[in-house]
Amino acid sequence: MSRIHLHAAALLATLALGGCGSLLPSERNEVKSPFRDYLDAEISFAQAKPGRTSRAELASLGFDPLAEGNGRMLSFIDVRLMFVQPNVPIDYLPSGLVECLEAKDRCVGYSFEFTKTNTERVGSFWADLFNFRKKREIHSWSFRPVFVLIDDKLVHKVSSGEPNVRRVESKKNPLGPLQGAGEFIADQL
For the segment 79-113, what is each residue's pLDDT rounded down to a tens digit?
A: 999 999 888 888 889 999 999 999 999 999 999 99
Residue 7 domain-assigned (yes or no): no
Output the 3-class SS for 81-137: HHHCCCCCCHHHCCHHHHHHHHHHHHEEEEEECEEEEEEEEECCHHHHHCCCEEEEE
Residue 108 domain-assigned (yes or no): yes
Number of domains in the chain: 1
User: How many Å apart are CA 162 and CA 160, to the nearest integer?
Assistant: 7
**Which pairs from 57-66 meet CB under 8 Å and 24+ separation?**
58/110, 58/147, 58/149, 58/154, 62/33, 62/34, 62/35, 63/110, 63/112, 63/145, 63/147, 65/110, 65/112
Question: Given pLDDT bands bounded at 50, 70 and 90, which one contains residue 132?
Answer: confident
User: How many Å apart are CA 85 and CA 75, to the nearest integer?
Assistant: 17
Residue 48 domain-assigned (yes or no): yes
- Select the more confidently predicted residue: 20 or 67: 67
Residue 135 domain-assigned (yes or no): no
**Could you tell me the residue range of the domain that residue 150 belongs to?**
33-118+142-165
Residue pLDDT, tens place only, 151-177: 999 999 999 999 998 888 888 877 777
Residue 92 domain-assigned (yes or no): yes
Q: Which pTM value belongs to this model? A: 0.74
Residue 127 domain-assigned (yes or no): no
Residue 3 confidence (pLDDT):
67
Residue 179 domain-assigned (yes or no): no
User: How many Å apart are CA 151 and CA 55, to the nearest integer?
Assistant: 9
Residue 45 domain-assigned (yes or no): yes
